[in-house]
Structure 1
């Protein structure tokens, strides 16, 4: 019946003359959860003295000697030695290395206790910008400290003595000095390291 009005509001709407109130959910602040970095357990094939092939970074393709796993980050401490292939003491993740079957006896190598993750952090210099040096390049080049050179020399001397004591020392000097490459039709998954 067209003239008869019911007391109901229109379906899907509100009655005339009333205001709609919106429900706003309170915004929760994001909680900052500090997680401790999970230390990756060392692979069975990687033991102190194992020769590793570096797969990434500026030293990729070089063969290095594994010294120890750093306790704080779980990264591997490796060295070239510097004299053989120009690789200094470095940290590297084990995902970026291939372990070979070649081993060197590094039991007589004494690593200083101060060589840890903090040893490799670089100090950042904070410079204030002023109008006079707006266009001056503020990038400073990294220079190796004397302490670092001394540590490198001590570790490399001990490793070179261990290589000289090995029965195949001529092979090892050439092996550590050469780069790892793949030839035509060589597939890494088919190689035995």
Structure 2
């Protein structure tokens, strides 16, 4: 016997959002830019018949709900705080070699270049040395070492900011029919922008020149970092 769609008469088994998801109604929605509509006023002045009714009366445009929720609706708390970029740790200065603790390149050693406006750290392997390209990293997921690379003579381009790492927006299927036919097709891989590749090569060439001045530093950056049994990072000096 099929399960009833209602728990009790008038009360459905599924919520409105669950029903919409099961029926796939979200696939048929079409997004279109509509002209701005003037908001309707809360009250309207109407003429009332009868000598004792005052001729005119102010009436609300929308009726109040017949029933109200038994539970109080939580209102979001208004915060007066403004977001500020995180303060850089004293152990992290331009040229400091960092150890990445999370992400795709965890365990790799990278060179810190500068702090971006968002508070994230701009680092590079460089790419030619250990395969780590220009990346943004949160300082909470790095270990600062005592090894440093002299970056005083290196000038970084103004293009190296948070906008450099922004992903291009991709347009999806307009309708459910288009989405159905696009399901089986292999997605074309977008080519890496030539401007970003040129900027990576420029940074790499200047970094490698500075790294080669220190003996065995290239081998140090190529090696990966890890912990063995009984080793604790808070008890170690880097």
Return the offset for 1:141: 3.9
Structure 1 residues 31 and 106: alpha-carbon distance in aligned structure 2, compared to 1, 3 A threshold: same
In the other structure, the counterpart of 1:159 is: 207
Higher relative CO (Cα under 8 Å, sequence separation at least 6) belongs to 1
Structure 1 residues 112 and 31: alpha-carbon distance in aligned structure 2, compared to 1, 3 A threshold: same
- SS of structure 1 residue aligned to 2:212: helix
Contact 2:97/2:112 (<8 A) preserved: yes
Return the offset for 1:37: 2.7
Structure 1 residues 142 and 94: alpha-carbon distance in aligned structure 2, compared to 1, 3 A threshold: farther
Aligned positions, number: 168
Runs of 5+ unmatched residues, structure 1: 1-21
CA distance in structure 1 between the partners assigned to 2:221 and 2:73 by the alignment? 59
CA distance in structure 1 between the partners assigned to 2:232 and 2:75 by the alignment? 51
Q: Which runs of 4+ in 1 moved over 3 A?
A: 22-36, 136-143
CA distance in structure 1 between the partners assigned to 2:112 and 2:169 by the alignment? 29
CA distance in structure 2 between the partners assigned to 1:159 and 1:28 by the alignment? 53
Contact 1:75/1:93 (<8 A) preserved: yes
CA distance in structure 2 between the partners assigned to 1:35 and 1:124 by the alignment? 30
* 109-118 or 153-162, larger mean C-alpha shift: 109-118
1:50-93 Cα distance to aligned partner (Å, 9 max, x none): 0000000000000000000002x010000000011100000000
Contact 2:98/2:111 (<8 A) preserved: yes
1:154-176 Cα distance to aligned partner (Å, 9 max, x none): 0010000001222x2xx111100
1:11-90 superposed matches below 5 A: 30=76, 36-71=82-117, 73-90=118-135
Contact 1:109/1:158 (<8 A) preserved: yes
- SS of structure 2 residue aligned to 1:155: helix
Contact 1:110/1:155 (<8 A) preserved: no
Pairwise CA RMSD: 2.7
TM-score if structure 2 supplies the norm length?
Answer: 0.63
Contact 2:115/2:122 (<8 A) preserved: yes
1:179 to 219, 224, 227: 224
